[in-house]
Copies of this chain bind each other. A is one copy, B any other.
Amino acid sequence: MSFITDIMKTAEQVFIEFLKENNLSMTPQRKIIVETFLETEGHFSAERLCGLVKGKASEIGQATIYRTLKLLVDSGLAESIEVGDGSALYEHSYGHDHHDHLICVHCNRKIEIYDDAIEKRQEEVASELGFKLTRHRMYLFGICPECAGQES
**A residues within 8 Å of B by Cβ?**
80, 82-84, 88, 102, 104-105, 111, 113, 115, 117-118, 121-122, 125-126, 129-145, 148
Contacts and interface: CB of A to CB of B under 8 A. Distances in A.
Contacts of A140: 122, 125-126, 131, 133, 136
Contact of A129 (B84, B113, B137, B139): B113
- Report the copy number of this chain in the oligomer: 2
Given A80-B84, A84-B80, A113 B134 contact: no
B105 A129 contact: no
A15 B121 CA distance: 36
Contacts of A125: 102, 113, 115, 118, 140
20 contacts: A82-B82, A84-B88, A84-B137, A102-B126, A102-B131, A105-B134, A111-B129, A115-B121, A118-B122, A122-B140, A126-B142, A130-B144, A131-B142, A131-B144, A132-B148, A134-B141, A134-B142, A136-B138, A136-B141, A137-B139
Given A82-B82, A84-B82, A132 B143 contact: yes
A107 to B, nearest CB: 12
A83 B135 CA distance: 13
Given A84-B80, A102-B125, A142 B132 contact: yes
